[in-house]
């Protein structure tokens, strides 16, 4: 297993720091966030150390993805949870503080005051089409 001894999540996975673990799979651990935005706030964390989403291998990403529906369904059975945001901060510019890839499951209730509305922009001219073309190129390049 690839671990970073200075990483808080690696230390949890190695049992050196305690955490409220709700699921341990072959490649992932799911635990309560220590600083919850709402009670039940979960983190889904790969057991190996990958800094961010784009470094995460497909088999690990697949286990994370496969766990999400069950985790969301379980959260929705808890009292006072009426919705769930799935959030993944990828890179410091996106608000990532712990550099060990993780997915947040954030419980929501109507009028909970957490908010989650970003100001939508607008594409000018052919900007959307040129971004689309570049992304298709990159995706086709990385698939083969």
**Site of interaction with ligand AMP (CB under 6 A):** 8, 17, 19, 31, 33-35, 43, 89, 95-98
| Length of the chain, in residues | 144
The answer for residues whose C-beta is within 8 angstroms of residue 46's C-beta and 6 or more apart is 27, 28, 56, 60, 64, 100, 101
**From the candidates 41, 49, 100, 102, which is the catalytic residue?**
102
Catalytic residue list contains 102: yes
User: Rounded to 5 degrees, what are φ and ψ at 117?
Assistant: -130, 120
Q: Which is nearer to ligand AMP, 85 or 89 (CB)?
A: 89
Q: Which is nearer to ligand AMP, 69 or 95 (CB)?
A: 95
**Residue with the CB atom nearest ligand AMP in the bound state:** 35
Distance, CA of 143 to chain centre: 23
The residues assigned a catalytic role are 102
């Amino acid at each position: 297993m690839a671990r970073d001894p200075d990483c808080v999540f690696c230390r949890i996975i190695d049992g050196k720091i305690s955490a409220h673990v709700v699921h341990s799979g072959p490649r992932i651990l799911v635990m309560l966030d220590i600083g919850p935005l709402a009670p039940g706030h979960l983190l889904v964390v790969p057991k190996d150390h990958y800094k961010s989403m784009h470094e995460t291998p497909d088999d690990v990403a697949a286990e994370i993805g496969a766990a999400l529906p069950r985790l969301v369904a379980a959260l929705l059975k808890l009292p006072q949870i009426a919705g769930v945001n799935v959030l993944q901060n990828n890179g410091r510019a996106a608000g990532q503080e712990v550099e060990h890839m993780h997915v947040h499951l954030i419980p929501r209730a109507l009028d909970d005051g957490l908010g989650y509305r970003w100001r939508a922009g607008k594409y000018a001219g052919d900007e959307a089409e040129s971004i689309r073309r570049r992304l298709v190129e990159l995706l086709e390049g990385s698939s083969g």
